Amino acid sequence: MATRQERGWQRRGRGGAAAGQSPVTMESGKMFAEAVRVAKESHPKTTTKTVKYGTAGFRTKAEELDFVMYRMGILAAMRSRDTRAAIGVMITASHNPVPDNGVKLVDPQGEMLAPAWEAHATTLVNATDDGIAAALEAITSAAKINTGNAALVIVGRDTRWLF
């Protein structure tokens, strides 16, 4: 099995924007606009209720999670660009009734998502579809993310309900 270094995922520092520079570029603006377009067309927000990222991530009925899953995928890529390491997305229902599901992000060493990023997750998921780009710009600026960094996201899921 290849190590992170062999795969080119050696941590090389945060790689954020230089002091005084905005990490939001024209290229990231295009990327954020595309995220909005895809959200509206394929993963529109289906609820106005406020949800909060907690220790277990986001948990709710499966039919209410599509837009949440989409946005968490985007956030995982942003977190990976920030840490310059792989980030996990876990789709789970391990101890809940069958219709209940959840999604959470896992930081590079398998640890819980950093508290500041829990707040970013809550902000992004609660944004309107049209507000996704602004939320991503705010996250990028707050964390000083170089959006040109490569991202690596690993998806896992609970297998107890496989047939």
Report which DSSP code applies to 156: E
Asked about 28 being catalytic, the answer comes back as no
Residues 13, 2: Cα–Cα separation, whole Å: 21
Query: Going by CATH, does the domain composed of 26-47+58-157 fall within 3.40.50.300?
Result: no
Mean pLDDT by 10 residues, the chain (163 residues): 38 44 71 94 94 89 89 97 96 71 92 95 97 96 94 85 49
- How far, in Å, are 30, 39, 46, 54 from residue 65 at the CA level? 26, 13, 9, 15
Give me the percent of the chain exceeding a pLDDT of 90. Answer: 63
Do 140 and 147 contact (CB within 8 A), yes or no? Answer: yes
Can you read off the two tokens belonging to residue 115? 């508290």
Write down the catalytic residue from 22, 28, 42, 94.
94
b (16+ CB within 10 A) / e for 134-145: ebbbbbbeebbb
Q: For 39-57, what is each residue's pLDDT tens digit?
A: 999 999 999 999 999 888 9
- How far, in Å, are 39, 70, 90, 91, 138 from residue 158 at the CA level? 25, 18, 8, 6, 32
Where in the chain are the domains? 26-47+58-157
Residue 98 pLDDT: 65
